[in-house]
Amino acid sequence: MADQTTVLIIGAGPAGLVLGNLLRAKGIDTLILERGSREHVQARARAGFLGANSARVLTEHGLAAGMLHNGRLHDTCAFRDASGEFELNYGKLGRGEMHTVYPQHDLVTDLIAEYLDRGGELRFGVTVTDVDAETATVRFRHAGGTGEARGRFLAGCDGSNGVTRQAIPAARVTRHARDHGIAWLAVLTQAPQSMAAVTYAMHDNGFAGHMARSPEVTRYYLQVPPGDDPAAWTDERIWAELGVRMRVDQFGPLRQGPVTERRIVHLRSDIIDPIQHARLFLVGDAASLISPSAAKGANLAIMEAEILAGALTDALTRDDDHALASYSRTCLPRIWRAQEFSHWMIALLHGPTRTEPDAGFEHALRRARLDSLRDCRAHQDFFAESYVGI
């Protein structure tokens, strides 16, 4: 016999957990099915930059205790290249909004605890094998065998490679995808941050990035060939290349420590339209995969979760399905604006190789973009609003 619930949620990342918490706050029954173990989900290291809207959602809905206690406000980014460095205090530009730096695995840990406290049901170690969007039914495998669960509505929060986005018939959806042909080596180091600001360094060897995580942990990125093996990057090689691209001879040494994680991240964009079909609604990376160049992934997920939670609440408590019917139309313009800014950041941070035709022309264009960002207040205000906002 199938398990019955009102809203069945697939995936216990920020998208599924924020959605589940918001629905539980309204007394709506929910069941979250997650493929990984609780330990795995709570240890996954991901970007930790929360925009102003994400901080608002978490605060307004009683989900921000950990963030408010341990998060750090961040309002400045810096750009380095051969001509020098300049900083932008984006917290004093545009709408005057800042990021809150709070590691995503800490946020997920908070959201799981709160969801369970609110009486939500969450099952780990469950692999969904089949999804029926018409009946909001899924079949799954788990350690005890197989099972089936059914809801009045189904939320797909299981990422770009999950099964829920495949449940929308190909004839009913348009897919917009781009492989940017760029890869980053994402590095997590047991070392304090070396700079007060998020720093983007542009070099002939490729892009390098410095991102705050916590007082003891710093995230770095190195542009590498897409086929590179992360195991080939020893600690010594990583720090040496970071030193070159960050121009430590000009700006001072990096604070080094052991590398605790190294993985390859391919910069890809993948959006489907619509992001709903029958009783199925997609949230987060299941709806739109975005490159990490502007730290928009989790923030889009939280924005979409709030919109869907409101629409489901209207449909279930007031028998008003207008917001639910327009979920795609509400979210997709915001998704595309975030994609456009991410694409702009990709073009800014990644120059052509020395052997590419018109490499000199492309480098000069990038220099012009940086000069405009450094000198033009209107450009700075636009950057600040796009960088922090959704």
The residues assigned a catalytic role are 74, 200, 292, 296, 387
Q: Which tokens in the block code for residue 368?
A: 């012009």
Q: Which string of DSSP letters, residue by residue, matches 27-58?
A: T--EEEE-SS-HHHHHH-----EE-HHHHHHH
- Residue in the structure block whose two tokens are 């959704």: 390
DSSP string, 171-239: GG-EEEEEEEEEEEEEEEESS--SSSSEEEE--TT--EEEEE--SS-EEEEEEE-TT--GGG--HHHHH
Q: How far apart are CA 31 and CA 134, in angstroms?
A: 18
Q: How far is CA 214 from CA 211, 217, 243, in A?
A: 10, 5, 21
Nearest to 208 by CA among 120, 85, 34, 57: 85
Q: Cα(132)–Cα(273) distance, rounded to whole angstroms?
A: 19
For residue 374, the tally of other CB atoms under 10 A from its CB is 16
